Amino acid sequence: MRKFIHNLQQILPQVHNSHFPALIFGLALLGFYFYGDISLSAMTGFHTMFFVINIISAGILIYFNQRKPIFYLLNITLSYILINNFKSLYSLDYLSSPAYINLCFFIPINLCICYFCPDKKLLSRHSVYWLLLLLAEYTLGEKLTHLSISLAVSLPTDTINLTSSSMLLFSLCTLACFVRMVHTGSIMDSSLFYTGLNIFAGFYYSSSPTALTIFFTAAAITLLYCVCKDIYYHTYTDDGTKLASRNAYLKQSSKFPLKYSLGIICIDNYEHLKQVFGNRSIRQLTRMISMRIQEVETEALLYRYSEDEFVIIFKNEDKKEGYERLEKIRRGIASAEFMLGSRKKGLKLTVSCCISEKKRSDDNSLEVLRRTQKALQKAYQFTQNVTSKA
């Protein structure tokens, strides 16, 4: 039963992350099919909304120094501007122009590359390389257009707005992103998948001004949602263990009940383990310890407070009851073997724990936490792998 609950907890966040992006895509699709052409004023409103949302997204991304979404945003904005520019230059003949055909060739490749590239800091030399590559690509596209050369191959099965090769590229990109989204289930991967789906639909129906504006605006809204939710998630969630982070504890501590016990679980010899196994392995070990804690204790609130410390909250329980549950966690970890990488023999790890309860004299949970930390540090002077009371 516990295994089923644990698996369900892993699946539900993945489904939840796709709710809003899927809704936006569905509304854009229904709006286009049911309403057809919209008024000029409404189209102008969507057009303005597209650029305003993108400016907001760019400002947030630059402030929080995130690279992956901003290159996605750059490709979306350039695509929208260029398609409208081609329509202005070539009228309906833009569909057969080398400029549009080359754009349809480059964009799915760019979106796929941006989707799978690691999300690192924006302000770095690697970002400059990415930007130069993007500029070189558009320079090449412009040069090929002047030479009337189209990279895409036209076949009898071409659609109205996309050549067969462009359709294939968009389809392969969408499929690859879908597989990645299902595998990771992350907020960013889910949102960027639906952003790409909106872009695909925008290109597929690009001959319709309504479709182009609606789908690209839907892509911009989805991307803004992705940016905001991803930043919020990483602010209050520990990346290594997927547990609530220190920020989440500080935010939620004011909502704790009047009666509760606060426990600290500290990984013994953490710095020594870090020196022996390295940063990557210690992150794996920490994640395995957190999973072991969750297997033993399924009801209490658990936070990753620092590198080697977890804070656990037992609601409506006194120190004695919390002590028994904390001791069960300590014994569960001490009795387990942790398999690391290709090692054939499991590692034996231990944790030291300390428990305290909220007193009437305590103004907030931070006082309870400081008292528990002091008691744990005192116990550490004599022994490890033990549960104590503050």
Residue 87 within any structural domain of the chain: yes
Q: Can you tell me which residue has the tokens 């796709």?
A: 18
| Confidence (pLDDT) at 302 | 93
Q: What is the pLDDT of residue 60?
A: 92
Quick one: 158 and 21 in the same domain?
Answer: yes
Judge whether 4 lies within some domain. Answer: no
226 plus 289 within the same structural domain? no
Rounded CA separation 30/18 (Å): 18
Q: Is residue 204 domain-shared with residue 289, that is, in the same domain?
A: no
> Strand 244-245 to strand 301-304: parallel, antiparallel, or no bridges (unpaired)?
parallel
Shared-domain flag, residues 251 and 328: yes
Q: Does residue 74 fall inside a structural domain? A: yes
Q: Are 265 and 376 in contact (CB under 8 A)?
A: no
Q: Say whether both 265 and 232 belong to one domain.
A: no
Q: Which residue segment(s) compose the domain that 23 sits in?
A: 10-236
Instruction: Yes or no: say if 139 and 189 are a contact pair by the CB < 8 Å rule.
Output: no
CA distance 214 to 189: 22
The pLDDT averaged over each successive group of 10 residues in the chain (390 residues) is: 45 65 92 81 90 94 87 92 91 86 90 85 82 86 84 62 85 92 86 94 90 94 92 89 91 89 92 87 90 89 92 90 91 88 81 91 88 89 86
pTM of the full structure: 0.82
Of 201, 220, 236, at which residue does a domain stop?
Answer: 236
Same domain, residue pair 185 and 228: yes
Confidence (pLDDT) at 5? 42
Amino acid at 10: Q
165 Cβ partners below 8 Å, 6+ apart?
105, 152, 153, 154, 155
The domain tally of the chain equals 2
pLDDT at position 173: 92
CATH code for the domain in which residue 308 is found: 3.30.70.270
Is residue 2 situated within a structural domain?
no
Tell me: do 273 and 360 sit in the same domain: yes
pLDDT on residue 11: 45
- Are residues 253 and 174 part of one domain? no
Residues 197 and 263 both lie in one domain = no
Angle at 254 between CA 252 and CA 255, to 5 degrees: 70
Question: Is the residue at 181 inside a domain?
Answer: yes
Q: What integer pLDDT is reported at residue 156 of this predicted model?
A: 55
Rounded CA-CA distance 39/228 in Å is 31
Q: Rounded distance, CA 181 to CA 178, Å? A: 5
Residues 65 and 201 grouped into a single domain: yes
C-alpha distance from residue 191 to each of 28, 195, 230 (Å): 15, 6, 10
258 shares a domain with 221: no
**Last residue of one domain, picked from the residues 236, 271, 287:** 236
**Cross-strand bridge partners of residue 355:** 263, 389
pLDDT at 155: 58
Task: Using only the alpha carbons of the chain, give its radius of gyration.
Answer: 27
- Contact of 148 with 106, CB cutoff 8 Å: no
| Buried-exposed string 110-132: b where 16+ CB fall within 10 A, e elsewhere | bbbbbbeeeeeebeeeebeebee
The verdict on residue 281 lying in a domain is yes
Single out the residue in 205, 236, 267 at which a domain terminates.
236
Query: How close are the terminal C-alpha atoms of the chain, in Å?
Result: 34
Residues 148 and 131 in one domain: yes
Residue owning tokens 């919020």:
232
Q: Is residue 159 part of a domain?
A: yes
Q: What is the pLDDT of residue 1?
A: 45
**Residue 3, domain member (yes or no):** no
The closest of 245, 227, 259 to 305, measured between CA atoms, is: 245
